[in-house]
């Protein structure tokens, strides 16, 4: 006999079903039946969305601070590139 594999749902699907449950137009049972998901699972996804909703807007917009560790490496590579370019221009006629 074949073993039953666990069904894994995509994040977009979970979000869609959870948001539909949050809207409250249909009951959790109706949503679960419509999408082929157990109503308890719909409730878990709804709860998870509501718990994480506050963290969605915590990040600040705008410029992110530059990473101090990558700056020397980036500058060294830029210097090397410019030296190679300069040597090429010195050697070329005209």
User: What pLDDT, on a 0 to 100 scale, did the predictor assign at position 68?
Assistant: 60
Average pLDDT over residues 2-7: 80
User: What pLDDT, on a 0 to 100 scale, did the predictor assign at position 75?
Assistant: 87
Q: Is the pTM of this model over 0.75?
A: no
Secondary structure class of 4 (helix, strand, coil):
coil
Torsion angle (degrees, nearest 10) of CA 53, 59, 62, 64:
-150
The band of 94, judged by pLDDT with boundaries at 50, 70 and 90, is: low
Predicted confidence (pLDDT) per residue in 23-82, tens digit? 999 999 999 999 999 999 999 999 999 999 888 887 777 776 666 667 788 888 999 999
């Amino acid at each position: 006999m074949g073993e039953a594999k666990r069904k894994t749902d995509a994040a977009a699907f979970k979000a869609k079903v959870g948001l539909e449950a949050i809207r409250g137009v249909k009951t959790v049972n109706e949503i679960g039946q419509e999408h082929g998901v157990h109503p308890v699972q719909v409730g878990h996804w709804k709860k998870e969305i509501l718990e994480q909703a506050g963290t969605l807007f915590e990040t600040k917009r705008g410029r992110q601070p530059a990473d101090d560790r990558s700056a020397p490496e980036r500058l060294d590579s830029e210097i090397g590139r410019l030296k190679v370019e300069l040597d090429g221009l010195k050697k070329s006629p005209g």
